[in-house]
Structure 1
């Protein structure tokens, strides 16, 4: 089948969900069945073909080293076997076969090389059409689609994103904005949505998007799942599903199929509903006018001040580990009267549970009327929980957040405490930036971290630039306690188009200096500073902490837009004196 020619005449109907249908009958990961039980996979392909679909997906959705927890050679065997089985199932009919490629889960590096190796296996096994599905981000798609087209110019490439009913992917990107970006990639032939949402939600969502020239693909779930006896079950709603896809085709969608929970019965019903239907033109729906809600929030004073060229002072207070916050609130009150512009609150630092930073931020805003900046990590929440928290913060008038990936849970605890890490700080910044455009009437100021103590600072700068591209306007650096960190700070100021707050942490003892230098990731302390604390008693060490910190603040002053002072051991008395010192040399 020539897919492009077929789509000029009528819509292309895909099969349903191999994974959930296989799971109803058998145990184990269905991709391994390509090499262990090929007849099972072949039979399911044939059932979907008998149901009337004109395109099938290879049984390779999760065929990657991360999802299958195996090496690339095993993945290649699974992909090759999956290709042969699908071609065998389709050989007696004019059925299009698509290489099915799901997302390779984020593990800290780019998966693009593994994608290319898998693509090569498909091409070597005569699979020339590709479906990238259930994606959370459009990153790397331009390069991958060009890679395919260079090797097989007449291949047909579909990319599909999994969005919630409100139109955001699992990493918080707007489906609307993704569509616009994909429209600029000429090598991609079709774009659409699958998974997470049911037929009705995707039908309603697709109507909101602006028409453009690419083919549009919709492959919804069977509906909302329920859990019975620890198994995920989709209730049979095949008639409703088919009728909704029929309506979806009539608004201009020309590729449809099924995702989780859709059996051959769903596809059979869909084929019956759309029999004789020709490809429809994309209908432009007039959007209902939405009255933008009035904001009761004040102007973002922090951004206003820093954008006016005035240096600001932000002080970090660690949230308490117990439900007793009188000392925290008293410290915050003292800092307010010392003249700080903002108080930042860490989000469970060192992966240890503490009072929630966002709840404390709301309390500071309400009771002390001071600008709070809660840290927001990517470690402990998925994108739904993060968005819910941002909505609450926005309602409470919290105007700024500091996004960080978050400290990992110490390895001995990993069996008991599971980390999330489904996205990183750059992706979270992008999510907040897109929510600023589409949801919040009063947008957040987005802050992020910059590690001036990183060994490979050029890589740190590159990552910081990505954060800036994703909407970050302020960077808070790690403490500057070495000459190397100072030089990196200067380089950052020359390179990055963002406001920079230079990090300062007062050292309170010789032991404290040694501990930070050896135990705390991201902090380096010069040997000269460590030596100065030898033999110092508490009062002497405190005076030295103020002296060194004030000197550092003055030294970095030409290269920063403000100061980010970290409070050690709740020693607000030391911070007050450092602030006095800063005000003195600035006046």
Structure 2
């Protein structure tokens, strides 16, 4: 009988992990899919072990065998060879079985991958990568079905399912991955995901990875789905730990799987297998734990879906309201490097009195250690009534820390963030420190805006929606404005609300930016950076040593002459005012960068910006 017929008649036991098994038992820590070519006997033995343990379903060693993921090992041109070798090895292993064994061609999701080239892939590149792998698998004509597994985002899985069904009539099993029981990380409930996947034509719908038997069993309880839907579960062996070398390890006892096997059957599961940390011992335990292979019908029928109403905490964002019609000044300050903060807060109060609409707080700029900007922001807001815009870097925080910081900012009533990568760690006080970089700045924008839906990092409700407005950094000094404009469009697509630029010293760059935004119909508030020069040496340093900043020869010459004349500060302020004049012809927002904590200079420029509202620029 074929796989569809088998699914109608009995519960099927699937195999378990490939990657963690190869790493834990064989000490292999390379591209696991490449082993289909380099170590075929090892892969064949793994399949044979699962079959001997009683697996009715085995999957090809092709989870990450696509062009995008193989590129990290420079194996992108071996997609076809790797996939077809995987099928050949699984077929050879199946020939040793003393019971019917069905073969699934496995294709893994991309959304959970942290590799930059994968994260930056366009929809067209993702579709091409999936098509190439699928074509290679199907060309063998040896598969009984396709397994789409470890998909964190439902839209990606729906798109993959649609593409697979356009190329084959084989049954398709679709597995989502959840960070918390019963809900995907975008807030979609598991039940809703099942209903949508069933409507899209999936033959079996389930969950794999991340969670162990305990939480996945919870996810399948009381599902409000059609009774005819076929279900699959592939839990991890349990939660991972680390060994003495810091490597991730799993030590879940196979007997625990034996205890859950019958429970999964009673919940109406059609396929029961394993994921990370599982071994043939876990598969054998599942077989022993099943008191029967008879299917248990789903008894829970669909119920009306109730969507909770979340009300965001109202934020001020007054500077964003103002910049739509008036000239608006923000000022960037570096938090203090020591515990003498009196001068800093006095300066901030003077800036507020000068009409500054908000203070942006850098996050260890130039990778130099300073007081945490979130702490300074809280004091500015709660003690002095000043609007802070907090820089949040991907350099200093992993995904856990980023989300904790976001939640903390909301708890303090701080709802304005500039999402940035941050200067490289090696530039600063501790050149041996490492940059984290779990996500790019655009992904940080998306992450922050997810909180505005009242959905946390695991997809669970936060019981309250945030009201963050997120800025993205932009360098108008780039030589290729067209490319930079594309980057703006990408940031807007991720949820960016406004732009804060690097300091400019050439008004032609401002004009080019204004024209590019207009030509591409990109409508977004922009705060153009202005940094007053304090000396000729300061100008030379910025021009020659700071990445992304170039000063026109006329500006360098003026500062050199000012050094001879002894009026460098005055000339620096005059250049800044001329830039502000030019900026205000095209944009309403000015972002003043404070040089060396010289509050007096920036206050003069902030007042100059405010005067523009009294005397409109011609």
User: Which of the five TM-score ranges fits, normalised by the shorter chain?
Assistant: 0.7 to 0.9
Question: What residue in structure 2 maps to residue 543 of structure 1?
Answer: 570
Q: Distance in 2 between matches of 1:545 and 1:127?
A: 74
Question: What residue in structure 1 maps to residue 105 of structure 2?
Answer: 98
Q: How far is the alpha carbon of 1:287 from its aligned partner?
A: 8.5
Q: How far is the alpha carbon of 1:581 from its aligned partner?
A: 0.9
Could you list the runs of 5+ residues in structure 1 that have no partner in the other structure?
none
User: Is 1:467 the counterpart of 2:482 in the alignment?
Assistant: no
Q: Distance in 2 between matches of 1:185 and 1:463?
A: 36
Structure-2 change in CA distance of 1:46 and 1:464 (3 Å): same
Q: Distance in 1 between matches of 2:25 and 2:376?
A: 50
Question: What residue in structure 2 maps to residue 449 of structure 1?
Answer: 473
Structure-2 change in CA distance of 1:449 and 1:123 (3 Å): same
Q: How far is the alpha carbon of 1:2 from its aligned partner?
A: 5.1
Structure-2 change in CA distance of 1:568 and 1:48 (3 Å): same
Q: Distance in 1 between matches of 2:318 and 2:535?
A: 33
Q: Aligned to 2:452, what secondary structure does the other structure show?
A: helix
Tell me which moved more, 11-20 or 228-237.
228-237
Question: What residue in structure 2 maps to residue 488 of structure 1?
Answer: 513
Question: What residue in structure 2 maps to residue 555 of structure 1?
Answer: 582
Question: What residue in structure 1 maps to residue 458 of structure 2?
Answer: none
Aligned match for 2:41, one of 39, 42, 50: 39
Tell me which moved more, 111-120 or 330-339.
111-120
CA root-mean-square deviation: 4.0
Q: How far is the alpha carbon of 1:531 from its aligned partner?
A: 2.3
Q: How far is the alpha carbon of 1:210 from its aligned partner?
A: 7.3
Deviations 1:145-180 (A, max 9, x none): 5665555454636353352569565xxx55659949
Q: How far is the alpha carbon of 1:239 from its aligned partner?
A: 4.8
Q: Distance in 2 between matches of 1:461 and 1:101?
A: 33
Q: Aligned to 2:386, what secondary structure does the other structure show?
A: coil
Question: What residue in structure 2 maps to residue 503 of structure 1?
Answer: 529
Structure-2 change in CA distance of 1:18 and 1:522 (3 Å): same
Asked if structure 1 preserves the Cα contact closer than 8 Å seen for 2:234 and 2:275, the reply is yes
Q: Aligned to 1:536, what secondary structure does the other structure show?
A: helix
Q: Distance in 2 between matches of 1:190 and 1:462?
A: 40
Asked if structure 2 preserves the Cα contact closer than 8 Å seen for 1:450 and 1:477, the reply is yes
Tell me which moved more, 438-447 or 382-391.
438-447
Q: How far is the alpha carbon of 1:282 from its aligned partner?
A: 6.6
Tell me which moved more, 246-255 or 306-315.
246-255
Question: What residue in structure 2 maps to residue 565 of structure 1?
Answer: 592
Q: How far is the alpha carbon of 1:582 from its aligned partner?
A: 1.0
Q: Give 1:123-162 correspondences, 5 Å limit.
A: 123-126=138-141, 129-135=145-151, 148-149=164-165, 151-152=167-168, 154=170, 156=172, 158=174, 160-161=176-177
Q: Distance in 2 between matches of 1:192 and 1:553?
A: 58
Asked if structure 2 preserves the Cα contact closer than 8 Å seen for 1:163 and 1:175, the reply is no
State the TM-score, normalizing by the size of structure 2.
Answer: 0.80
User: Is 1:222 the counterpart of 2:237 in the alignment?
Assistant: yes
Q: Distance in 2 between matches of 1:84 and 1:188?
A: 26
Q: Distance in 1 between matches of 2:403 and 2:341?
A: 26
Question: What residue in structure 2 maps to residue 197 of structure 1?
Answer: 211
Q: How far is the alpha carbon of 1:579 from its aligned partner?
A: 0.8
Count of aligned residue pairs for this structure pair: 582
Tell me which moved more, 557-566 or 129-138.
129-138
User: Is 1:107 the counterpart of 2:116 in the alignment?
Assistant: yes
Asked if structure 1 preserves the Cα contact closer than 8 Å seen for 2:392 and 2:417, the reply is yes
Q: Aligned to 1:481, what secondary structure does the other structure show?
A: coil
Asked if structure 2 preserves the Cα contact closer than 8 Å seen for 1:142 and 1:185, the reply is no
Q: Distance in 1 between matches of 2:387 and 2:510?
A: 28
Asked if structure 1 preserves the Cα contact closer than 8 Å seen for 2:9 and 2:294, the reply is no
Asked if structure 1 preserves the Cα contact closer than 8 Å seen for 2:419 and 2:471, the reply is yes
Structure-2 change in CA distance of 1:362 and 1:585 (3 Å): same
